[in-house]
Amino acid sequence: MVDYHLDVAFRDQHWRKYQQRLQRSRRKRKALERAWWLAALLISVLLGVGVFKAALSNGWFDGLSRIADCSEHEGRAFGLFDEKTLRDLIDPNAVSQNLDGRFAFTYRGEKFFMVSTLEPALQHYMQKKIGAAHSPAVGFVAMDPVSGRVFSMVGCNNRGNAGDICLHSTFPAASVFKIVSATAAIERCGLSAGSTLTYNGRGHTLYRKQLTAGTNRYTNRISLRDCFARSINPAFGKLGIFFLKKDLLEEYAKRFGFNQAIDGELPVERSRFSVDNDPYHWAEVACGFNRRTRISPLHGAIIAAAVVNGGWFVEPRIIERITDRHSQAVYSGREPESRRVMSVRTSREMMRLMAATVTRGTARRAFKGYRRDRVLSKLFLGGKTGSIKNDDDRWLYDWFVGYGAQKKGAKKLAVAVLVVHDKLLRARAQEYARLALRYYFAHCAS
């Protein structure tokens, strides 16, 4: 017979040994797991150090910091370029010759790559048209009125003097300044497109005897819309003397950017404006019958853009971005500064005036049949012509500034064309404008 107490003791001893073996096994397994994780962590650290060193040597973190800087300071230089530097550095002629919109340049011994805002198809088309011209000089600018992006900038100068014709403010504004005068008259003098003006004599002259307040049986009566469309000088001269005077002429010239720097990446000259205390000079300035008020084609496009952009004056842009040889962004074109130069109501009235120039005014011949055209008929069109000779009657400065805007869509285009003629009148500025508007909305404004 087995002793019960001995049997229990034996089983307890056996159970304790069994539990001790399990505990030793667990400790070994946990030690192995810890060793495995420590080894994996060590390998990860070593690999991370290697990647970090490679990133530093290849400038990856420099690129990331630039991109972060770009997100926080969009449109600003990333420590290397700013707009002033680019105005001094970038050759507008070289940029405009690259039909794919890309341009390489060297700065401080390093190579950089610029992507411009130019629309390659429109740029190529206008280069062909203007390149075939035999006029002494032609300047053409097209831009987006809302963003300020310059879509095309083409200059052809056969007169011998160097420089970019699109950026030089050496050309009399002529009747283009009537846009400024009409804006001031509508905004500050209570006029509208239907307001009646009077004048005596011929519409293209400006004699002192035409600028009196009185009327007689020979007095012509005309609406502001038709006066603008037909560019009647004495009626605008009387606006200058009896309504606008010196103060409003100066105020609205300043609003439209005269005598001020136009910011952006393009080195555009300041447009020139001055007016003295002589009332006859007020008349000359108001109708553009003088050679002292001068603008560039680029500024002409900005003026037209302000009308079709609801009264906002927007700065031009020519650069989308600049990258270094590692394809890292070093400059991104900022959203342009804009300021209001007229109310929405005034801009609508001005569009009525400029539309009349195309339908029944001085540009009607160039735009003849546009209502039957499959492209132009779908647009709101407007513009202002201007022409004046230089001091010795050798050159005739021929202007068109205007716009096209989709009737069923959001696309808009502001254009300015200057053609300098000699004794022979060749293709007119308004004809180039029609070509550009039609091509852009047919092929580029998808």
- 131 and 32 in one domain? no
- 159 and 41 in one domain? no
- 124 and 32 in one domain? no
259 part of a folded domain: yes
What per-residue confidence (pLDDT) applies to 364? 97
66 part of a folded domain: no
Residue 354 belongs to domain with CATH number: 3.40.710.10
**Residue located via tokens 């580029």:** 444
389 part of a folded domain: yes
What per-residue confidence (pLDDT) applies to 42? 62
- 137 and 46 in one domain? no
What per-residue confidence (pLDDT) applies to 33? 62
As for how many domains the chain has, the answer is 2
4 part of a folded domain: no
- 361 and 233 in one domain? yes
80 part of a folded domain: no
Question: Judging by DSSP bridges, how do beta strands 220-223 and 312-314 pair with one another?
Answer: unpaired
For the stretch 401-446, pLDDT in tens is 999 999 999 999 999 999 999 988 889 999 999 999 999 999 998 7
What per-residue confidence (pLDDT) applies to 45? 53
What per-residue confidence (pLDDT) applies to 160? 59
402 part of a folded domain: yes
What per-residue confidence (pLDDT) applies to 25? 63
Distance (Å, whole) CA 425 – CA 413: 27
**Cα angle: 354, vertex 355, 357; to 5 degrees:** 65
399 part of a folded domain: yes
Type and span of the H or E element at 5: helix 4-58
**Cα angle: 336, vertex 338, 340; to 5 degrees:** 170
The set of residues, in sequence order, having a beta carbon less than 8 Å from that of 243 and lying 6+ positions away, is: 185, 189, 191
**Cα angle: 253, vertex 256, 259; to 5 degrees:** 60
Its domain, for residue 32, covers 24-58
pLDDT < 70 regions, the chain: 1-79, 159-163
Which candidate, 425, 431, 336, 338, places its Cα nearest to that of 383?
431
What per-residue confidence (pLDDT) applies to 75? 40
88 part of a folded domain: no
What per-residue confidence (pLDDT) applies to 123? 95
- 354 and 220 in one domain? yes
What per-residue confidence (pLDDT) applies to 41? 61
- 261 and 135 in one domain? yes
- 352 and 209 in one domain? yes
- 182 and 39 in one domain? no
- 124 and 34 in one domain? no
How far apart, in Å, are the Cα atoms of 390 and each of 292, 338, 394, 418, 431?
Answer: 11, 34, 6, 14, 22
What per-residue confidence (pLDDT) applies to 29? 62
- 354 and 257 in one domain? yes
What's the pTM? 0.81
- 53 and 190 in one domain? no
